[in-house]
Amino acid sequence: MARCRPQCPRAGGDGEPARGHGVEGVQGPPGTDRHRVPDSDPALAQEAAVERGTRDEAADVHALEPEAFLEEVHSFEFWFQSVQGYLAGLSFGHRPDVHGAPLAPDERERLVTVLCNYCVGETAALEGASGLVAIAPNRLTKVFLATQVADEGRHLEVLLHRLAELGIPAPESEIERRASRSLLHFKRRLRELVESRDWEAAIFAQNVILEAMEFTVFQSHARTADLVTREVLQGIVKDERRHIGFGENELGRRLQASPHIRARIGEVKKELDHWVLESFEETLREIGVPNEERPELGRSYLEVVARLGFA
């Protein structure tokens, strides 16, 4: 079957993460419901094509057989054309002619602390994704994770550059000084899961838990951030959505094929919940999210995990 390759698709916006899951958040078997074929993020592919007015092209992507569909959306070519659509013309994650208004000293201080901890999370994701490439079970997952490594490296670079723009002369030293204890603990535990070659647990910790937390926090922060930080975060959010979709769908297929791994993933969730939620609360407080809004954002994060059947 001829492959259908979208030309420079653009991200569909800051909508929800991956959708289209069935009972307990697990996708149906490949081929049983073609509009819900598992992939790295079908909604992103379809919305990008529709946004450009090419509905037939979007339909063609989903008309592929499951194996051909995965071959398409997990390819480096698909990734390159996707990110090209929303990164073209940007310099370090934002338009060169965009300049934020001067920040008050206390606002700048809080922003620096938040960005330092975003760098901790992105470093964890960069190290985790690069380690997962070696233990990935097949070529398609290796290639997708290679694209994720590139994404995470870009995220770290643009955040470090934003710190430099804010007048931080040695960002790495500042990150070490301001890093959240709970986030550092999560980073160490993720590294241990990868090094132990625990594929399902490591994918769950990184592409579901970590990416979902970052997606929720970055999306919330972008709504109130200065113009430069907003554009940087919006570009990252579009990548995170794709990463979450991969994690959900990879685990969804594995949970269907091997239900016994659910207990292992449940143990990892229980272990990491405290550190994730503590870090989540710290960050929401620093970016100024009102107390009354934090539970709703917490629920948004937990819904991603719940889609896989882990309440």
Q: Hunting for tokens 């700048």 — which residue is that?
A: 108
Looking at residue 281, its pLDDT comes to 84
Answer whether residue 8 is part of any domain.
no
Same structural domain, 52 and 188 = no
Q: Out of 59-73, 234-248, 272-286, which region has the weakest mean confidence (pLDDT)?
A: 59-73
Please check the confidence at residue 22 and state whether its pLDDT lies above 60: no
CB 22 within 8 A of CB 13: no
Residue-level pLDDT at 99? 86
- Residues 283 and 180 occupy one common structural domain: yes
48 pLDDT higher than 90: no
Quick one: average pLDDT of 83-109? Answer: 88
The answer on 160 and 113 residing in a single domain is yes
Reference 216, options 130, 118, 148, 88; nearest CA is 118
Asked if residue 5 is part of any domain, the answer here is no
| Alpha helix segments (H runs only) across 30-138 | 42-51, 55-63, 66-73, 76-87, 105-135
Q: Is the pLDDT of residue 33 over 90?
A: no
- Residue 142: what pLDDT? 97
On whether the CB atoms of residues 82 and 90 are closer than 8 A, the answer is: no
Q: Which of 77-91, 127-141, 296-310 has the lowest mean pLDDT?
A: 296-310
In this structure, the answer to whether residues 77 and 203 fall within a common structural domain is no
* 107/187 same-domain check: yes
Q: Is 9 within a domain?
A: no
pLDDT at 9 over 50: no
Cβ–Cβ under 8 Å, residues 187 and 124? yes
Continuous H helices in 88-226: 105-135, 139-165, 171-178, 181-195, 199-203, 211-224
The residue with tokens 């999370």 is 121
Q: Please tell me the total count of domains within the chain.
A: 2
pLDDT at residue 7 greater than cutoff 60 = no
pLDDT tops 60 at residue 151: yes
Give pLDDT, residue 61. Answer: 57
pLDDT-based confidence at residue 24 (cuts at 50, 70, 90): very low
In a domain, residue 119? The reply is yes
**Domain assignment present for 152:** yes
Whether the predicted pLDDT of 13 surpasses 90: no
Q: Which of 166, 164, 181, 176 is nearest to 116 (CA)?
A: 176
71 and 125 assigned to the same domain: no
Question: In terms of residue numbers, what domain contains 57?
Answer: 30-86
Tens digit of pLDDT for each residue in 181-239? 999 999 999 999 999 999 999 999 999 999 999 998 999 999 999 999 999 999 999 99
- Residue 172 is assigned to a structural domain of this protein: yes
State the average pLDDT over residues 92-114: 91
Q: Give the CATH number, domain containing residue 257.
A: 1.20.1260.10
- Which residue would you say has higher pLDDT here, 197 or 287? 197
Return the pLDDT at 311. 65
Average pLDDT of 257-284?
89
Residue 18 predicted with pLDDT over 80: no
Q: Which two tokens stand for residue 287?
A: 């970016």
Provide the CB-side half-sphere exposure for 73 (13 A, CA).
27
The encoded tokens of residue 103 equal: 């920040």
At 91 the three-state DSSP class reads strand
Q: Look at residue 65 and tell me whether its pLDDT is greater than 80.
A: no
Task: Tell me the Ramachandran region of residue 53: left when phi exceeds 0, alpha when psi lies from -120 to 50, beta otherwise.
Answer: left
Confidence of residue 286 (pLDDT cuts 50, 70, 90): confident
| Residue 115 resides in a domain | yes
Shared domain check, 235 and 302: yes
Provide the CB-side half-sphere exposure for 306 (13 A, CA).
7
Answer yes or no: is pLDDT of 310 > 80.
no
- Cα distances (Å, whole numbers) of residue 203 to 8, 15, 145, 197, 269: 28, 22, 10, 10, 12
Confidence of residue 19 (pLDDT cuts 50, 70, 90): very low
In a shared domain, residues 169 and 288: yes
Same domain, 248 and 107: yes
Instruction: Quickly state the pLDDT bin for 139 (edges 50, 70, 90).
Output: very high
The answer on 108 and 67 residing in a single domain is no
Query: Within 13 Å, how many C-alpha atoms sit on residue 238's CB side?
Result: 23
Residues 159-183 have a mean pLDDT of 95
- How far apart (Å, rounded) are the C-alpha atoms in residues 10 and 129? 24
Q: Are residues 212 and 153 in the same domain?
A: yes
| Whether the predicted pLDDT of 287 surpasses 50 | yes
Residue 91 maps to a domain:
no
Residues 56 and 160 in one domain: no
Residue, of 64 and 240, whose pLDDT is higher = 240
Q: Of 159, 149, 160, 92, give the one whose Cα is nearest residue 125.
A: 149
